[in-house]
Amino acid sequence: MNNIQIAIIGAGPAGLSAALELKKLGYDDLLVFDREDEAGGTPRHCGHLGFGMFEFKRVLSGPDYAKKLAKLAIDSGVNIKLKSTLTKVENGVLTFSTPEGIKQYKPTCTLFALGARETPRPDRLVSGTRSPNIITTGTLQRFAYLQKIKPFNKAVIIGSEIVSFSAIMSAKHAGIKIEAIIEEKDEIDSFCVIKYMVKYLLKIPVLTNTKLKNINGEDKKVTSVSVSTDEGEREIPCDGVIFTGQFIPESSIMQKSFDDFNFSNNSLYISQNFQAKDDGFFVAGNALRGALAAFKCYFEGKKVAKNIHDFIRFKHQPELIKIEADENISWYYPSMIDLKSPTKQHLTALRLKKRAKGAIKVLLNGRMIYKKNIHAFPFMSINIPWKDIELKPQDVIKLEFVNN
Ligand SMILES: Cc1cc2nc3c(=O)[nH]c(=O)nc-3n(C[C@H](O)[C@H](O)[C@H](O)COP(=O)(O)OP(=O)(O)OC[C@H]3O[C@@H](n4cnc5c(N)ncnc54)[C@H](O)[C@@H]3O)c2cc1C
């Protein structure tokens, strides 16, 4: 058993920026762990541009951004343990599977910066052939940029969140033709400009109001997909299917290890200091809620480092109230309020599951204390600045969305 002061799990933008900040604050007894053989997180395999503008004032590709972050961390003396997969958290002890065998650590503070992943085919309950040619954008990117493999020749993309644009770029890089983007909703799930770029510049059909019914094929090969529209069913020939988006936090460890898991948020209940109910556990980056841009996770890493610093210096006894949310809300932060925290501002950010017009309400013991009319898209975060509210430990807070 190794006793350490701070453990950070996940060497992506959130974990590495937290490590860099903690180093600046003078913490040396700090280890970063990652299951991969290189540090940098998800951007390592996002081979396109679109990273670093806010953090480094430069437009970088994902791999260059990941290398820069990892180099900054290593040059500042951050100790990164690679090929170390966190498998269990019990009584404050972290268990890792490593090439040298099982290793255990007992930190004073642990930051989970485990990132998020797209919902794969098995979780989407789509019937049809089982084939290795049915993958997510993340896997396609690993093939295209890290392993330089072209897994198939022509594919359909399922889903139209902004990440589907990354799937197109990655497919292009690997020499894969995209036959169509299929979206169940009546409009695409990202900015309209993306739709026009895809449709008119890249000349890829964007089929909205279209549902994937079956993946056809035999002998582990994909031959086509069947889709249904208002006009009936049709087949689209292809030899690969790319499922995109519907990001969920990498939360299975947290789910198994803590009894205070927030299923509507798919993360631990987290206070305004990024802190869980269990003493000394923090969460930041995409592990908190699904996918945000890398720079947001980077800056969140810096913020959480300051909160870890405060926890170590002033460790106060928390007094926590949970915030619950209704089924229209896909994620929200914070999901708890620590009444004794020095961080007084209770800024809540949330996202809706679907595009909708209506009102967000904050209810305190069933009474509305805040209302905001919104017209929101699922990829937009909505801020609710509700400070200076007198709260008591027995109060019940709920976030509600009501359609107009
Ligand atoms: C296809 C795609 C394209 C994207 N394009 C852009 C873009 O153009 N611009 C942009 O700003 N953002 C983009 N993003 C988003 C960006 O990559 C993420 O927001 C960012 O990487 C999240 O940072 P993070 O540190 O929270 O998690 P991650 O970067 O995902 O890092 C999490 C780390 O935790 C490690 N880990 C997980 N579980 C364990 C475990 N049990 N044990 C040990 N280690 C573990 C993982 O190996 C990983 O290295 C894209 C994301 C995807 C998937």
- 239 and 125 within one domain: yes
Half-sphere exposure of 246 (CA within 13 A, CB side): 13
Ligand 1 atom showing the smallest separation from residue 284 Cα: 26
Q: Using the 3D structure, point to which of 192, 220, 243 is the last residue of a domain.
A: 243
pLDDT at 345: 66
pLDDT more than 70, % of the chain: 99
Q: Which atom of ligand 1 is least distant from the CA of 301?
A: 25
What does the alpha-carbon distance between residue 283 and residue 10 come to, in Å, rounded to a whole number? 11
> Do 191 and 110 fall within a single domain?
no
For the chain, the domain total comes to: 3
User: Number of C-alpha atoms within 13 angstroms, CB side, residue 391?
Assistant: 27
pLDDT in tens, 101-152: 999 999 999 999 999 999 999 888 899 999 999 999 999 999 999 889 999 9
CATH at 189? 3.50.50.60
Quote the pLDDT of residue 192.
Answer: 77
Mutational test site, ligand 1, from 42, 98, 299, max ligand atoms within 8 Å of CB: 42
User: What is the atom index within ligand 1 of the atom nearest the CA of 117?
Assistant: 53
- For residue 387, the model assigns a pLDDT of 67
- Give yes or no: residues 202 and 136 share one domain: yes
pLDDT confidence of residue 274:
94
Shared domain check, 239 and 225: yes
Q: Are residues 138 and 184 in the same domain?
A: yes
Cα-to-chain-centroid distance, residue 58: 23
Say whether both 6 and 56 belong to one domain.
Answer: yes
Inter-residue contact 401 to 328 (CB < 8 Å): yes
Cβ(53)–Cβ(62) below 8 Å: no
Tell me which residue has its CA closest to atom 38 in ligand 1: 114
- Does residue 175 share a domain with residue 66? no
Give ligand 1 pocket residues (Cβ under 6 A).
9-15, 33-36, 41-43, 46, 50-51, 85-86, 113-115, 137-138, 141, 163, 166, 250, 253, 285-287, 291-295, 297
**The token pair that represents 23 in the structure block:** 């180093």
Residue 41 Cα to ligand 1 middle (Å): 5
Residue 306 CA to residue 302 CA, distance in Å, equals: 7
Do residues 178 and 289 both lie within one domain?
no
Residue whose CA is at the smallest distance from ligand 1 atom 39: 114
Q: Which domain holds residue 253?
A: 1-118+247-315
Around Cβ 172, how many Cβ atoms within 10 Å?
14
One domain, residues 208 and 353: no
* Structural contact between residues 269 and 287, judged by C-beta atoms closer than 8 angstroms: no
Going by CA atoms, what residue is nearest to atom 44 of ligand 1? 34
Q: Ligand 1 pocket test: which of 114, 254, 257 has the largest number of ligand atoms within 8 Å of its C-beta?
A: 114
Whether residues 404 and 325 share a domain: the answer is yes
Same domain, 7 and 106: yes
Instruction: Give the end of a domain, one of 243, 268, 292.
Output: 243
**Dist CA 155 CA 74 (whole Å):** 39
Residue finishing a domain among 218, 243, 268: 243
> Is there a single domain that holds both residue 373 and residue 306?
no
Please name which of 30, 60, 26 lies closest in space to residue 298, comparing C-alpha atoms. 60
Give 10-residue mean pLDDT values along the chain (404 residues).
Answer: 94 98 97 97 90 95 96 97 97 96 97 94 90 95 92 95 91 94 88 80 90 93 94 94 93 91 89 92 92 93 96 90 92 91 79 90 92 87 80 92 89
pLDDT value of residue 292: 87
Q: What is the pLDDT of residues 298-312, one digit of tens each?
A: 999 999 999 999 999
The residue whose CA is least distant from atom 19 of ligand 1 is 294
178-220, pLDDT tens digit by residue? 999 999 988 888 877 777 888 888 889 999 999 999 999 988 8
